[in-house]
Amino acid sequence: SPHVEVWMECRKDGDGSTRVTASFMNKTHSYIEQLSLQTAVMKYLKIAIQPMSGTSLPPNSKGAVTQVMSVTNSALGEKPIVMKIKLSYFINGEKAAYEEKVEGFPNGF
């Protein structure tokens, strides 16, 4: 999105799942409100999403809001993690929504 950048860091959890932490960066001089992230994954993946740490991003901030997801890959080593995300929020009173396909997760996750 032209306003928000999403950073995703992943690490292995002890149970074999992958812990993905999404951090949100506000690239504008305006407040971003009612931030929401929805995800969809293929059937070989299971995802559990914790609530966001907040829904408001201060202007020019990085990492003010985070969201943790736990992904279990039943096709580990065969298929990578791929997710579709939908980011929605309000900026200057107007609703904005963007959909993106997230790929490029390391092999073995």
Q: According to the model, what pLDDT value does residue 106 have?
A: 83
Three-state SS letters, 23-35: EEEECCCCCEEEE
Flag residues of the chain having pLDDT under 70.
Answer: none
Strand ranges inside 1-109, DSSP E: 4-12, 18-26, 32-41, 45-49, 62-73, 83-91, 94-102
Convert the pLDDT of each residue in 84-94 to its tens digit: 999 999 999 99
Phi-psi region at 15: left, alpha or beta (left = phi > 0; alpha = psi -120 to 50): alpha
d(CA 95, CA 90): 4
**Would the pTM of this model clear 0.95, i.e. be above it?**
no
